[in-house]
């Protein structure tokens, strides 16, 4: 079953993306782990680590900056809910939270989504710098002081 909260969502998404059907606009209910009327939480289809979760607004929007205040609130509510669930089930040591907003930032699906990535001691030899490693030549800021 495809979401029924916004009946015309599939067509809106097809129009917005032109050549592709958005995988987030056609999610089946069986993939949904958490939900509000404005957003859903699903397991990432290509997880970086066990428990990698995506928080996705139901409305097809390309950028985080296009979300309404209520949609941002729903996304944050589901981030909190997913974090509590993952902490209980998988007991990660930390989390990386990220959004690739736009093609230059690596966004491959033009429907905004937030990554909640559980992190575990030893999953990277030296995690210092965290998200700064998306631009490796800029990551090691502490050595350039």
Q: Is 113 a catalytic residue?
A: yes
pTM of the full structure: 0.82
The residue extents of the domains of the chain are 31-122
Q: How far is CA 77 from the centre of its chain?
A: 13
Residue 76 has pLDDT above 80, yes or no: yes
CATH class of 31-122: alpha beta
Q: Which residue has the tokens 């974090």?
A: 83
pLDDT tens column, 2-43: 343 333 344 444 444 455 689 999 999 999 999 999 999 999
Residues 52, 60, 113, 115: which is the catalytic one? 113
CA separation for the pair 3, 24 (Å, rounded): 10
């Amino acid at each position: 079953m495809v979401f029924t909260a916004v009946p015309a969502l599939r067509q809106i998404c097809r129009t917005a993306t032109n050549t592709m059907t958005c995988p987030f606009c056609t999610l089946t209910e069986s993939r949904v782990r958490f939900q509000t009327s404005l957003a859903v939480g699903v397991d990432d289809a290509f997880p970086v680590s066990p428990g990698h979760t995506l928080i996705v607004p139901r409305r097809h929007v390309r950028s985080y900056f296009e979300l309404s205040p209520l949609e941002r609130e729903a996304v944050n509510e589901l981030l909190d809910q997913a974090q509590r669930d993952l902490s209980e089930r998988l007991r990660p040591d930390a989390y990386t939270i990220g959004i690739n907003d736009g093609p230059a930032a690596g966004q491959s699906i033009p429907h905004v989504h937030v990554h909640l990535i559980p992190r575990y001691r030893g999953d990277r030899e030296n995690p210092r710098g965290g998200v700064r490693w998306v631009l490796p030549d800029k990551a090691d800021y502490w050595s350039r002081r």
